[in-house]
Amino acid sequence: MEALRDRTIRIDIPYITKLHEEIKIYKKDSGPAKVKGKHVAPHTLEVGAMWAVLTRRRAQPGACRRRRLAQEACHGGEEM
């Protein structure tokens, strides 16, 4: 196992925590152009992107004691 560790390096890559960036990725990978002949329900990509971003965030102590969706709107730059 040590031989494997000696040959690899760790690269830290930050998670995407902005909703609009995650939606762009989802639309590029799973948008109507990629899924031809299949129906995708409205807002499916947005909800999937929101779930992905919310699962990556840590709870902020004291600063934001709102519900998760309101917190996402706060961090995403949207008004609720």
Q: What is the pLDDT of residues 4-46, one digit of tens each?
A: 888 888 888 888 888 899 999 999 998 888 888 888 888 999 9
Q: How far is 51 from 71, CA to CA, in rounded Å?
A: 12
Q: What is the pTM of this model?
A: 0.62
